[in-house]
């Protein structure tokens, strides 16, 4: 069942089209990564979906209706678009009380969402004193007040430390496992590849790709990073085998075009010691270059 549907969506600021004839659908009970480099039009699209920005043309619907026409069902949609959208002088609990009042939600939910997001002990703290990670959690707590079955999150991992990103992945995966529909935007593929089911990739406001995340990941040519004291010799050998090699440090090579087994076999045959071989995380920007180049689209 389609929960979120965007069709022919266009947003122009002056003569510039930030979102340009964008169409996609998000099914129920899945985590969908909404991917694109900075400036791709992700935030504008999400804001149009949530009735904050007026589309120039086209439609963005949740359960077949514009957000502002959802009525009581609106409580069942949670969103986090601003990481710093708090009054600094208001306490964590005070902030959530205001949001409960505005949505007509019972205050008893506050304790539950604070516990859910690991913020239970911070209820009395002023929002202005929270760390970036704690603010992200407070944003999520606010989005969960209505016990929503649709969650829309804009770059929720921005600025989080590695522990925070790890927590967020587990948290979002758990929400999805509970049957909620999650649409989460990001500009880093590696950040969402581990918990998202589907991916929608946009660039320049246009759809580039929509489908399972696994397909997107495989579409990104994986690079290997090898550390060896004989980098120059290994590079010559790899290039002669058709690989593309880039020296990232005096003793490190980034290799694309050959698999790890081929690289290891070649190094062994030439008695070149290899101290370390890792797969470089596929950056979304790399995927874009490949995808748009393959489809002849401008980047």
Partner 1 sequence: MTAALHAEFLKLRTTRLVAGMTGIAVALTALIGILEAVTAGTGTGMAIPSLATAAGLRDNLASPGFALLIAALLGVVSASGEFRLKTATDTYLDQPRRGRVLAAKAVAAAAGGALLGIAAAAAATGIALGFAASRGFPLALPATTIARYASGTIVGAALLAAAGVGAGSLIRHQVGAIIAVVSWGLVVELVVAATLPSAGRFLPYTAAAMMAGDTNGGGMPQIPRGVIALPYPAAIAVLAAIVVAIAAAATLTTARRDVA
Site residues, partner 1 (CB under 8 A): 44, 47, 50-54, 67-68, 74, 79, 81-82, 84-91, 94-95, 97-99, 101-104, 142
Nearer of residues 52 and 112 to partner 1, judged by Cβ: 52
The answer to whether the CB of 2 falls within 8 A of the CB of 155 is: no
Nearer of residues 150 and 258 to partner 1, judged by Cβ: 150
Least distance (Å) between residue 135 CB and partner 1:
11
Nearer of residues 101 and 115 to partner 1, judged by Cβ: 101
The answer to whether the CB of 237 falls within 8 A of the CB of 266 is: yes
Burial class (CB in 10 A: 0-12, 13-18, 19+), 268: exposed
Nearer of residues 94 and 118 to partner 1, judged by Cβ: 94
Least distance (Å) between residue 80 CB and partner 1:
9
Nearer of residues 22 and 189 to partner 1, judged by Cβ: 22
Least distance (Å) between residue 53 CB and partner 1:
4
How many distinct helices (H) and strands (E) make up the chain? 10, 13
Nearer of residues 101 and 293 to partner 1, judged by Cβ: 101
The residues, ordered by sequence, that sit 6+ positions from 56 with a Cβ below 8 Å of its Cβ are 10, 11, 12
Burial class (CB in 10 A: 0-12, 13-18, 19+), 185: buried
Chain CA centroid to CA 126, Å? 28
Q: Are strands 244-249 and 252-256 parallel, antiparallel or unpaired?
A: antiparallel
Query: Residue 125 and residue 218: Cα distance in Å, rounded?
Result: 45
Dihedral sign of CA atoms 64, 67, 69, 70 in order: positive
Nearer of residues 137 and 235 to partner 1, judged by Cβ: 137
Least distance (Å) between residue 203 CB and partner 1:
20
**Tokens coding 3:** 């929960």
Q: Determine if residue 94 is left, alpha or beta; phi over 0 gives left, psi from -120 to 50 gives alpha, anything else beta.
A: alpha
């Amino acid at each position: 069942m389609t929960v979120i549907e965007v069709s022919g969506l266009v947003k122009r600021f002056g003569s510039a089209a930030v979102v340009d004839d964008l169409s996609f659908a998000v099914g129920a009970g899945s985590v969908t990564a909404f991917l694109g480099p900075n400036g791709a039009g992700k935030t504008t699209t999400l804001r149009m979906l949530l009735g904050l920005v007026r589309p120039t043309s086209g439609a963005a619907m949740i359960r077949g209706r514009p957000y502002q026409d959802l009525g009581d069902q609106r409580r069942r949609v949670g969103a986090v678009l601003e990481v710093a959208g708090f009054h600094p002088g208001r306490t964590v609990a005070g902030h959530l009380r205001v949001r409960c009042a505005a949505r007509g939600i019972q205050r008893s939910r506050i304790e539950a969402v604070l516990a859910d997001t690991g913020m239970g002990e911070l209820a009395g703290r002023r929002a202005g004193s929270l760390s970036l990670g704690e603010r992200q959690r407070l944003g999520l707590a606010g989005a969960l007040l209505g016990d929503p079955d649709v969650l829309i999150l804009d770059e929720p991992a921005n600025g989080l430390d590695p522990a925070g990103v790890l927590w967020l992945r587990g948290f979002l995966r758990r929400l999805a496992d509970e049957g909620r529909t999650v649409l989460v935007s990001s500009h880093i593929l590696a950040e969402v590849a581990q918990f998202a089911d589907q991916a929608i990739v946009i660039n320049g406001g246009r759809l580039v790709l929509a489908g399972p995340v696994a397909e997107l990941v495989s579409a990104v040519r994986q690079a290997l990073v090898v550390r060896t004291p004989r980098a120059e010799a290994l590079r010559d050998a790899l290039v002669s085998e058709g690989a593309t090699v880039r020296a990232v440090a005096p003793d490190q090579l980034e290799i694309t075009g050959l698999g790890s087994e081929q690289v290891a076999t070649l190094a062994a045959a030439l008695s070149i010691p290899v101290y370390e071989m890792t797969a470089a995380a596929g950056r979304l920007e790399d995927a874009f270059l490949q995808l748009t180049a393959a489809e002849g689209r401008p980047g």
